[in-house]
Amino acid sequence: MQYLDKLNRKAPTLTRRGLLQRASLLAGAALLPGAMSTVVRAQGALPENPFKLGVASGDPLSDGFVIWTRLALYPTEVDYGMRPEAMLVYWEVSETENMNRIVQEGSAIAHPELGHSVHVELRGLRAGRPYWYRFRFGDYVSRIGRGITTPTIANSLQAFKFAYVSCQHYERGYYPAYRDLVEQDPQFIVHLGDYIYENDPNRFTVRRHEGPEPVTLEQYRARYSLYRMDADLQSAHAHTSWAFTWDDHEVDNNYANDQSQDFDDPRTFLNRRAAAYQAYYEMMPLRASARPQGANLRLYQRIVFGDLVAFNILDDRQYRSDHPCDWEGGGPNVVAELCSELTDPNRTMLGRAQENWLAQNLANREARWNVLAQQTLFSEFNRGNNGSTVYSTDGWGGYPVSRDRIVEQMLRADTSNPIIIGGDVHAYWVSDVKEDWKNPNSQTVASEFVGTSITSSGGLNSQYQDLIKQNPHVKLIETEQRGYVLCTVTPETWRVDHRCVEDAGILSPDSKLATARSYIVENGRAGAMKA
């Protein structure tokens, strides 16, 4: 108790609002399932700063957002250097970057059951503006992070800039893309999956994973910690608020619902998925409503920026049907003529509940631009030759009926300016989403922009050039560049800039980036044009 008394003496003076929030947070923590005690225990000072994993904010609303940190002395070790005790962490929010105008403050409990992570859900802030925040434990203070609140629907937003990223394989290179992203100063960042890679260490890489392929909670925690210790990634998280979805490597390459890549017993695999989902929640600024229940975690959500942009953040991993036509041995492609499962109307990419939720959102006319933020390539892409039709089964090509239902929903609802963004394929893709994929003259329903990887290896451009000819709705495939996508949105135009690392091998964290190409979509006219 002596140390706790010392901690309390150093606490900030709380406003009435702060006291109420503190009481609410403490009450919620006391009810946390599995909590060791309703009494916070902090015995003795920690030997060094526990904020080694930085800070983050996410899931913005018009009156608040989530702020996150995690206490860890030695992040990649099994117990990350922390005692199995609950710790009291103080936080404060300011209207200014130098933290001299505090508007909210309080405390939260870092529970060992959640890897000593802290998720504070701020409410009561003003809409459509940035705030700054930090955490404190004892004498140690975290770095300052920035979060944003979204403008309300009543606000007429005239300009908005955001970035999206995916596929940040730690072993394949450094993260100068994140340093450049911070310099470009987007208001919002969307991560589209493959935040970590679960593979064993590879000695022929730029930098190496530590430990074996993760299957337990402790191993996933260590793998996430290794990634989050990167300075450029930490800076990007501290820069502004993020939204998240996942792909396969957060759990197991090319998994589908309860089916693993190696055809493990589903019960065994779901135990692994539960561990992976738990670690994911612990490491991301997600709301308590997203806390996993066993092997289930509700990740899909809608985030709206005024009357300008609505983001539908989708999850196409957790609820999907198994890959079609026995997909044994990890074979990624299937011949359409030999696979009747492709046309099975009962197969789904999103699950029925998420599909119905999306259909309602596509009918909502509150925003000028409507984004489907999902993991992979949405548009049809025939990879066959000599007259055959071949589709990749791990993306939407393996779920064409589910994809067609979404296109039909857009047409039926007359969705305002649908834009589809994705990742996964380690390449820049630009495509027109067609009413009839077989008829290039059919209506263009939406515009699709897939971003390349932060670091993950891509293929050779030459492998795709002949394939583009037989897929006329595809306007660009660029596989040899790494980077991210920066979007600038106004009521009249949607601009896409491909920000590319000049050093394709990403052998240095100081590699430079430049805009390789740009595209424009005009309000009321689906289809991408070169800027």
Please measure the distance between the N-terminal and C-terminal CA atoms of the chain and give it in whole angstroms. 64
What domains does the chain contain, in order, with CATH numbers? 2-148 (2.60.40.380), 160-195+302-530 (3.60.21.70)
DSSP 9: H
Q: How far apart are CA 397 and CA 389, in angstroms?
A: 11
Return the ∠ at Cα 52 (arms to 74 and 54), rounded to 5°.
145
DSSP character string of 84-135: SS-EEEEEEEESSTTS-SEEEEEEEEEBGGGTTEEEEE--SPPSS-EEEEEE
Q: How far apart are CA 147 and CA 188, in angstroms?
A: 9
Q: What is the pLDDT of residues 182-229, one digit of tens each?
A: 999 999 999 999 999 999 998 888 999 999 999 999 999 999 999 999
Helical residues (DSSP H) of 307-371, grouped into ranges: 352-362
pLDDT at 310: 98
**Under a CB-based contact definition with an 8 Å cutoff, are residues 186 and 468 in contact?**
no
pLDDT at 327: 57
Q: What is the pLDDT of residues 97-146, one digit of tens each?
A: 999 999 999 999 999 999 999 999 999 999 999 999 999 998 899 999 99
pLDDT at 15: 41
Q: How far apart are CA 375 and CA 443, in angstroms?
A: 24
Q: How far apart are CA 452 and CA 449, in angstroms?
A: 10
* 3-state SS class at 265: coil
Q: How far apart are CA 125 and CA 312, in angstroms?
A: 23
**Under a CB-based contact definition with an 8 Å cutoff, are residues 39 and 85 in contact?**
no
pTM for this one?
0.93
Averages of pLDDT over runs of 10 residues in the chain (531 residues) are: 30 38 38 43 74 98 98 95 92 98 97 97 98 95 98 93 98 97 98 97 90 96 98 98 98 96 94 98 98 98 98 98 72 87 95 98 96 98 90 95 98 98 98 96 98 96 92 97 98 98 92 98 97 96
Q: How many CB atoms lie within 10 A of CB 441?
A: 9
Backbone angles phi, psi at 293, to 5 degrees: -105, 95
Q: How far apart are CA 310 and CA 373, in angstroms?
A: 10
Give the residue from 387, 403, 379 showing the smallest Cα distance to 336.
Answer: 387
pLDDT over 90 percentage in the chain = 84
Sequence-ordered list of residues with C-beta below 8 angstroms from that of 44, at least 6 positions apart, any chain: 3
- Chain centroid, CA 143 distance in Å: 22
Q: Give the CA dihedral 331, 332, 334, 340, nearest 10 degrees.
A: 90
Q: Give the CA dihedral 518, 519, 522, 527, nearest 10 degrees.
A: 180
